[in-house]
């Protein structure tokens, strides 16, 4: 088993759970999201677990108390 690089260990990906199939990356934007995530997590009390995009310039940051496990329910489509 290959060891993860530091960059891979720090990688968190937030995806639209309503999309099926392949997706392409490679479009990068400059933002202060990195600074905001570090600011929120600096206390050690919370972990950023998601980002909500609502078609505006504002992003909602979802957090959880540090150490808790996310409970995400995926419903199967019939």
* Strands, E assignment, 3-58: 46-53
Give the pLDDT means over successive 10-residue stretches in the chain (78 positions).
72 84 91 94 93 91 84 62
Name the pTM for this structure.
0.69
Give the separation between CA 50 and CA 62, rounded to whole angstroms: 5
CA nearest neighbour of 37 among 53, 27, 50, 52: 50
* Strands, E assignment, the chain: 46-53, 59-65
Query: Could you tell me the CA-to-CA distances from 78 to 47, 62, 75 in Å, in that order?
Result: 34, 29, 9
Identify the helix (H) or strand (E) that includes residue 27. none
């Amino acid at each position: 088993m290959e060891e993860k690089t530091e960059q891979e260990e720090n990688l968190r990906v937030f995806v639209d759970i309503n999309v099926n199939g392949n997706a392409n990356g490679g479009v990068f934007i400059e933002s202060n999201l990195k600074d905001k995530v570090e600011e929120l997590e600096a206390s050690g009390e919370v972990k950023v677990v998601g980002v909500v995009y609502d078609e505006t310039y504002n992003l909602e940051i979802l957090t959880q108390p540090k150490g808790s496990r996310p409970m995400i329910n995926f419903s199967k489509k019939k």
